[in-house]
A and B are shown apart, each in its own frame.
Chain A
């Protein structure tokens, strides 16, 4: 390991803010993952590792979680990090600002500081995946001394975030770059190795590729260049790439099929769609071979995956037969692609082509990010692309898309398709509250088998976002969240 050096990482799009407790989108997680920390970190097998918590214990009934905090941790402004900060974060701040965590915190009865370095979480009922919620973005630690008693949203310190992480916020030139510098007082000896990290904002995908080629940037996090460019870039001298570092998120792409109305409300139609699509082709051509065809709601990279389900291979004849059987009258449907770049557009076009081959007339709807959010959250679509993170556990990242209690107009991150299956709902809830892993696995096997036949959504791909970097950068991707907390351990070989 060698100390020193500077790393330039592309961030795309420019994050709206860096206060991780309040802003949760991808780019924010990427940058703020170096500034803020959670109690735990997770390796690529999604097993917990020490973070701000040195060690932890879970009671046998699965109701009490006790964390022993690292000694001598300081906030970037020099204040001590203590158990009170944890209590403030998990008990006061995040329940108010962090929508995704809120669902998990609902299981929490109390958070208490047993002493300066010990925190205890008590749950109301067992919650299987609870040990997975302590990642930096999911439950970031928020400095109590800065936020307590203030209006969180307008607190001026949001612009200059204070965390405990290996890098400190230095400067943000809007539209250009975010500059982080080494936290000299970091509590792990010798870390970080890097002196500084620049997150570079380059809005055009082609320009980003150029920036990497010309040596302007060293790291292209997953998804920052279009798939077609990846082989060209990775074939360059001294360039490495890895698909690791996304396990925690395991981005899973599917198309929401509107279960409420139109042809898509007929299960046969939905099955026909699955058979009509040549997803292998899409993977190979649209995604340039990156990714894995999804078999069901749970990603094969996540725990509790099961492949004992109906497989929908490309079979146009079967699709036509199903359409015939339901008496499809040729009513056209619209597809709403994700407004996240050319790949997604091409994908929608490929789907349209496949569907038209079995006699389904498709029009591509178009919308920018705002329009997409509006249309999906208002259920104003027939078929809509999306991809969601799994967060390491079906109870955290999967069930939210299929249980009836998550049918809520106004948010694009829940059961948007309107799938309502009370029997399955029971099983989802049960699975979440079991502590025993085997029991959970059995239940999830059942769920997957059943739901795949219903096709509430058309599962497409387990996305693969390779990280491209120069080979002289080492130890960049070591955890399940990859580059998000990569600079902590990364070092540059001179």
Chain B
């Protein structure tokens, strides 16, 4: 095999005032023809910077300080801009993480694909259209004739990512760089895209540099693996070697932090329900107005379930299946259209606004986005004590309790007087947990509470939740799209699809003996499932 790209001693400097002087430092790697190289590492480890440097797309202020990247006997880092332009798209192509925003919203898909040809002056107008159609077919987009005339907003996330791939493949590049192309997609779609990339690699024999932070994905597609940390390569080798026998501590820790498929022991659950949901319905009507017709989405459609005291109930399902809506209805952030929500026996739906505010503390929520869920202009102590003080707890007492809780979630009490931006994502998520606990809730709804976090931090938060469940007899409704995480923490799991509850059962039932076709599909789509079960077996 011949080497498509070889990066040698690449160092990329960050502008002044950045968190460290170099985004990547002395990084070397090589990709062979037809090979998939996975670059893994935590957020901020310099994965994207490496890729952007190759494309000549470094953000302003960020510069290549040293090293070279040889591609077909040329150093792509030092080409003049015109030659770089000729290279981009034609020889090296790239796809990005965010399919929702990576396409020009005002341009038809077909035009955006054809533009690649235009940029490199290939073919005539008519041929370009033909080629675009072919590409759309190749990435298996449905109804190509229609898609070619569609605008991005008319496509789903997965479809958009396929369109992106079509663009990237247009000129049969020798190297495809994929920067976390599936992170924003749900599991089933992710599985399809991964399969597509594998197929195309097969067909075209191109080299792929695949950036991810998900070892499941690595296990699924990688030939070679590079592990990065704080801008340096800490480990490299074949996928087999790295996954099975990691050498470096950091890699080991990363792997350890990944929830294994091992199922927790069954626990005996209490009889008293903390949360009862009966025939819950929520329909979203959008638009509507003078002359417009309203559009209806049945986000939650006649769902009934209970969460027992001290139980952790996992709620899984594809994106848009109504998980969040269910959770938000349970805390009455969303007013249901029908059905009952009983928290500790009280029907929240029947309460007046005033009474509701008094009962609020019983159910609390941990939010998905640790950045958005804290008011950037409020000190941590305020965020935690606001609720209790509103309930009538004297300020002194509330503050003392807040400090105590901060200790419990593993943050020093001195965290209290700081502002959110002084904390990392994981720390903020802990603050969120402390805030929920401060209200002495009976039930906590955790909506994708760990999805935004790096695996190692994810593990810490999960540990914390487990500990709290034990200590405080908390009930938790744990919403996630990550079945592996669900398997770790939950007692029972409920599966949702298109607003309906399709299956509910103990973790063991769902994982080992799923009843519904949909559940089986979900399970199968988890990346690295095979590798996972191997690990589980060896663990």
A–B proximity contact (CB within 8 A): no
Residues on B facing A (Cβ under 8 Å): none
